Amino acid sequence: MELNMIQLKKLIDISLIEDIGTGDITTTSTVPAGSSTKGIIYVKEPGVVAGVAVAEAVFRRLSEEIRFASKVVDGAWLEPGATIAEVEGDARAILSGERLALNFLQRMSGIATRTAALVEKVKLYPVRVVDTRKTTPGLRMLEKYAVRVGGGFNHRYGLYDAVLIKDNHIKVAGGITKAIMAARQNVPHTVKIEVEVETLAGVSEALDARADVIMLDNMDPATMKEAVKLVDGRALVEASGGINEETIIPVAKAGVDLISVGALTHSIKSLDISLDIGEIKAAKTQ
């Protein structure tokens, strides 16, 4: 799992401009220039950490002299009080970057933690828990990365890397078959075509039209099981629609290949993470 560092740098720059603007007037007015400090980033509740390198990149963007010592790696389960990293160097840079670094860490760790919980629930079944495009604008790369850290898998990244024919596409195209045929004629042969269906009749039509993946939208587990039998391995089967911790096991038992959960990224509780700063040391005089 790797982050696109060019994209990350751009995101951090935009976020720092949003937060710091023309300058951190609180820090520059209360903390002497050239002073240094050391801080400890730690968790205050149990969870899976994600985004350690992102936090480091925030601080280093403000000062290349910052020393950031990671104590854990992404994917580690941490108990309250566990140290994620130590950061040392320019006090102004650390204080100005604190909130942004924590925002990224907290949200990404919250996503990884919830993903891990859902993956754990269905570990006995041959099914993948996948995310959706229901991500925070601008943060998709980080949020989808956090899903992978938590043991989940990514669905399509955007509108450009896979075809997903949904109900409105079907209405405009004039039906499931017409929509799939149009997609086949207009996208490269390397691109998979997925179609959303709501009934067993829709499953049959999607199969006849040679869909690669069939998404069962808001079906109950019993109907999903019938759909899986109908497909009989001729396409991948994805379950979608309001699936959560309480409903995911019956869905997995139905025999689907994929379970997509929008809540992995759109309804997340951030993990409680803090940064404690030590003594501020004045700059050494010549």
Q: Give binding residues for substrate as ranges.
A: 99, 132-134, 156, 166, 196, 217, 240-242, 261-263
CA 157/CA 267 separation, integer angstroms:
19
Catalytic pick from 167, 217, 226, 272?
A: 217
Count of CB atoms within 10 A of residue 76's CB? 16
- Considering 121, 134, 184, 225, which one is annotated as catalytic? 134
Structure-derived torsion over alpha carbons of residues 168, 169, 173, 177, reported in degrees to the nearest 10: -110
Q: Checking phi first, is residue 255 left (phi over 0); if not, alpha (psi -120 to 50) or beta? A: left
Q: Which of 44, 166, 234, 281 is catalytic?
A: 166
R_g over Cα of the chain = 23
Select which of 24, 74, 143, 196 is catalytic.
Answer: 196
Query: For strand 83-90 and strand 36-43, is the pairing parallel, antiparallel, or unpaired?
Result: antiparallel
**208: annotated active-site residue:** no
Look up 245 and say whether it is catalytic: no
What's the CA gap between 178 and 186, in Å, rounded?
12
Q: Is 99 helix (H, G, I), strand (E, B) or coil?
A: helix
Strands 47-48, 77-78: pairing is antiparallel
> Would you call 88 a catalytic residue per the annotation?
no
Marked catalytic residue, from 71, 99, 121, 253: 99
For residues 237 and 16, give the distance between their C-alpha atoms in angstroms, rounded to a whole number.
42
Known catalytic residue: 131?
A: no
CA distance 161 to 166: 16
**Residues of the binding site:** 99, 132-134, 156, 166, 196, 217, 240-242, 261-263
Two tokens, residue 83: 């140290």
Cα angle, residue 263 at apex, residues 262 and 265 outer, rounded to 5° = 85
Quote the crossing angle between the two packed helices 200-208 and 176-186, to the nearest 10°.
30
Collapse the DSSP code of 51 into the 3-class scheme (helix H, G, I; strand E, B; otherwise coil) and give the result.
Answer: coil
Active site residue 38: no
Please identify every residue annotated as catalytic: 99, 134, 166, 196, 217
